[in-house]
């Protein structure tokens, strides 16, 4: 059975409270429950969230040790600014799927540049919580 690490970046712990007109009213825990239910045990999902860039880099580096089969990452605001996360993702020899809840190209112009996505295998965005499920589904047989 595949093991997939799902990393969530800054402010995603505040989903449901943060800009509900953009991100909806569901919390990260709601998204986790939805995704776990939809995948129905077809993969082992390890969820991680941090607001600290260095902790996210360390977690990505841990994935390079061969203990996971794929990485799904929602880098949050770091998607637009973090060379460090980009560089850590480039170390990986497994599929990396970047996830965004909102349709970034319908938002502020500074969100249109995704530094981290340049190191991703694929990008899934604009589909709300379905973005996570579809990213994981893309890695299942």
Residues serving a catalytic function are 23, 100
Going by C-alpha positions, the residue among 41, 139, 67 that lies closest to residue 99 is: 139
Distance, C-alpha 8 to centroid of its chain: 5
Q: Can you list the alpha helix ranges (DSSP code H) found in the chain?
A: 20-23, 28-39, 53-63, 83-91, 130-137
- In this structure, the dihedral spanned by the alpha carbons of residues 13, 16, 18 and 20, taken in order and rounded to 10 degrees, is 150
Backbone angles phi, psi at 72, to 5 degrees: -110, 130
């Amino acid at each position: 059975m595949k093991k997939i690490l799902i990393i969530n970046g800054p402010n995603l712990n505040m989903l449901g409270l943060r800009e509900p007109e953009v991100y909806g009213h569901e919390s990260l825990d709601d998204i986790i429950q939805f995704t776990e239910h939809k995948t129905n045990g077809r993969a082992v999902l390890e969820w991680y969230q941090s607001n600290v860039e260095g902790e996210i880099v360390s977690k990505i580096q841990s994935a390079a040790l061969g203990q996971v089969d794929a990485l799904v990452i929602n880098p949050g605001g770091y998607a637009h600014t973090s060379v460090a996360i980009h560089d850590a993702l480039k170390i990986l020899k497994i599929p990396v799927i970047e996830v965004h809840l909102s349709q970034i190209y319908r938002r502020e112009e500074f969100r249109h540049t995704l530094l981290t996505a340049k190191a991703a295998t694929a990008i899934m965005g604009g589909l709300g919580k379905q973005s996570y499920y579809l990213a994981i589904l893309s890695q299942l047989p």
